[in-house]
Amino acid sequence: MSDYVSPLMQRYGTFSATGADAGVAAHYGDPMREQRRLARATDQPVIVDFSHLGVVTVTGADRGTWLTTLSSQVMTSPDVARGSELLLMSVQGRIEFYAHAVEAHDTVWLIVERDQAQPLTDFLNSMKFMLRVEIENRTAEYAVVGSTQNMAQLDAAPDTLKDAVTWCDPWPGIVTGGFSYAATDNHPGTERNWYLYILPAEHLEALGESCELAGTWAAEALRVEAWRPRAAYEIDEKTIPHELDLMRTAVHLNKGCYKGQETVARVHNLGHPPRRLVFLDLDGTEHTQPPVGSAVYAGTKKVGRVTSVALHHEAGPIALAVIKRNVDPKAQLIVSEESLADDGEKNAPTVDYAASQMVIVAPDAGQVVGRRNMGDFLR
pLDDT at 11: 87
Residue 377 lies in a domain: no
Q: Give the pTM.
A: 0.94
Residues 249 and 337 in one domain: no
The last residue of a domain, from among 234, 262, 290:
262
Q: Before 274, cis peptide (omega within 30)?
A: no
Query: So what's the pLDDT on residue 349?
Result: 52
The number of domains in the chain is: 2
Q: Which of 217, 233, 262 is the last residue of a domain?
A: 262
Looking at the fold, whether 186 and 294 belong to one and the same domain comes out as no
Residue 202: which domain range? 7-262
Same domain, 193 and 314: no
Model pLDDT, residue 370: 63
Give strand ranges (E) for 204-339.
212-214, 275-282, 295-298, 301-312, 316-324, 333-337
| pLDDT at residue number 157 | 97
Exposure string for 225-237, b = 16+ CB within 10 A, e = fewer: bbbbbbbbbbbee
Each residue's pLDDT, cut to its tens digit, for the chain (379 residues) gives 679 999 999 988 899 999 999 999 999 999 999 999 999 978 999 999 999 999 999 999 999 999 999 999 999 999 999 999 999 999 999 999 999 999 999 999 999 999 999 999 999 999 999 899 999 999 999 999 999 999 999 999 999 999 999 999 999 999 999 999 998 889 999 999 999 999 999 999 999 999 999 999 999 999 999 999 999 999 999 999 999 999 999 999 999 899 999 999 999 999 999 999 999 999 988 788 999 999 999 999 999 999 999 999 999 999 999 999 999 999 999 999 875 444 445 555 578 999 999 999 999 999 998 654 444 433 3
Per-residue DSSP letter, 168 = E
Q: Is residue 67 part of a domain?
A: yes
CATH classification at residue 56: 3.30.1360.120
Determine the Cα–Cα distance for residues 157 and 13; give it in Å rounded to an integer. Answer: 24
Q: Mark whether 245 and 295 lie in a shared domain.
A: no
- Which has the closest alpha carbon to 214: 147, 291, 153, 295? 147
Cβ atoms within 10 Å of 81's Cβ, excluding its own? 12
CATH number at residue 331: 2.40.30.110
Residue-level pLDDT at 369: 84
d(CA 330, CA 378): 10
Among the candidates 240, 262, 284, a domain finishes at 262
Examine residue 370 and state whether it is found in any structural domain, yes or no: no
In a domain, 367, yes or no: no
What was the pLDDT predicted at 282? 96
The radius of gyration of the chain from alpha carbons, rounded to an integer in Å, stands at 21
